[in-house]
Amino acid sequence: MRKRAACFLYWRLISAYWPSLALRINLTRNDSS
């Protein structure tokens, strides 16, 4: 049960930070090209 809660929190963190992470990747990709 506790492991499931930890997984849920982990996914919340990922989904929260994913947009900024993708944005950073796009920025670096545009800079290199």
Residue 32: predicted pLDDT? 67
Rounded CA separation 22/25 (Å): 5
Specify the 3-state DSSP secondary structure of 33.
coil
Rounded CA separation 28/32 (Å): 6
One pLDDT digit (tens) per residue for the chain, 33 residues: 789 999 999 999 999 988 888 888 888 887 765
Rounded CA separation 22/4 (Å): 26
Specify the 3-state DSSP secondary structure of 20.
helix
Residue 28: predicted pLDDT? 82
* Amino acid identity, position 18: W
Residue 29: predicted pLDDT? 81
Residue 25: predicted pLDDT? 84
